[in-house]
Chains A and B, each alone.
Chain A
């Protein structure tokens, strides 16, 4: 598309390619935290998350000309990152097979502002099943509404709401145990 447009208006192809690369690099810098964080919060492995995020951006580079606006690119990146996260766990079996219901309670009380508590929440999140975990990440990392999450993950809005309610109830129960002891 860029090549043909460049030929039509008489711009050398190399210049058009350089513009394309610059625009792509700007997009990578703008969205790298979003894509990497989705992968990191889902996989909980820095190196694997970076590799997955790189693959997502390389796919974006291949489809660059098809994505016309910034909003379209963001939506596309969230969708592709989510799909690749699911594929990654299926392929490499990275997930911890202990479910959240079976996860042990913390043995010490943790203040709500403590970074350890933050890490504990991440760990609890890692024990959710794949789809509910992605739903929670999209809701609380990306701040998306259930209808937007449903669109990205290709599922009914009711299913998204159901995953959210159930996951929040589980997480709240585990977390309240961790903080209740300190309050008493």
Chain B
């Protein structure tokens, strides 16, 4: 009875490889049932004591009370011991087998107590006899049917044995005087009838209780199975969803692929997953992302579609299931697979717009692990993965192209800069007469050349600025803490002379003079922003007009406006304002020279400093450019303070 194998404990219908996790549900049930049985027995013990007292009142002389009380106390006593054992087992997180054994011991003791109780309450004549049925029901709930029947047979054996011993006078029959007039225990017919009915009732009870419980267990198993399926489905949906997000993301390719293999392996609940992509020659499949495989296995040797029948078949667009990898003719490295512990493989093609890209493969330690469901799932992941891979490659290509373009512009303009600069200086030297007298006409022609070359110089400088900004982007943090007010004062001062020449009123309105404005930017960049905006305002404002620069605080930032009473920007031109080389028609008419890059540079720089730029303009009335710039973090502020004190 005690020698039970652990396999008895969970369901007998051991559906293929029921994982540990699910068995623990059955275990948990057993553990809690043992506790329940002990609680129930406290009541039973007390019940026996109460019943004994009650019986002694009803039949004052018909019964020996002593043994009945003793049995009640005995039940409570052994229940206390079981209670203590149960508590210790629970604290020690003992295995389910220990609880199973404990349950069997308990039932054994209960059987003994029942038999004694029957003996001392009238043997075969005892009404307590039928209480055995409850115990059989409980045993049927606790144990698998076979064990339940054994316990039922044991009960029948005990009752029959007791009855026969009393019948033959080996044991003294203890009748309940007053309840039954004649001594029925000596009546063969009565004894035979009761035993027959007891036996059949016990067996039928065991059968019914076991069957009902068995059906309940099956239901439970189905629920567990369903839960497992649901969990798997959820994992897969998550993997697919993850894949979908990868498709839309602009991550770097290695990141995309690593996420893909990891989520696929986890969703399928398999040992490993890998992606191999075809190299440029199409003769080699390189592992580019791996989850769960050893380095040794990856370095087993080159995978060439020409020599690898599995790769060839998958690349032709098929999902291929290899149920027994170490013995499959499709596998190029069967011995390595065996050493790695891989028994089955499932491969799906990664296919791009222009043909095969590579292979997505799942590896399992169990043979014949992959089902048609798995095939569908892997194919779906591979389809999504293909798009993600193509996106990532395309994104990378665009990025590289953009960087190359910027670098090209940078190099070209850089090369242009020296000759333009020197030519300009040479012409100026001529005009200034350092190499001899220059006639008025020559001066006039040289002056034109100087102006053209000056424009070229501006263009080169602007282009270089733009390309540098593009190349550096926001990633390169060359930020310092710059005093915005000082920068405005400096640039405004620079334009005093040109403004006066044009009879323009140039004003700086410092609206909150006591508030410091420290901006995370670069001195050069901030200068360029202000320089471009103010020079534009002066350039496009007719003689006698007014240019006002104002500085004020906004929440967490500074606001600089450059407002003029100039020609304004036509509505049609507004949407092109920040396009490279664009110049509004009225600006073109007024001022021949202009690169159409100034505002592009301003916008670019403002963006790089995490700011915002807005434009309001009315044709023939004037324009207002507003720059919002966030203030520096407090830790940058003191740096700025130091810098400004040093400068003075």
**A in complex with B:** no
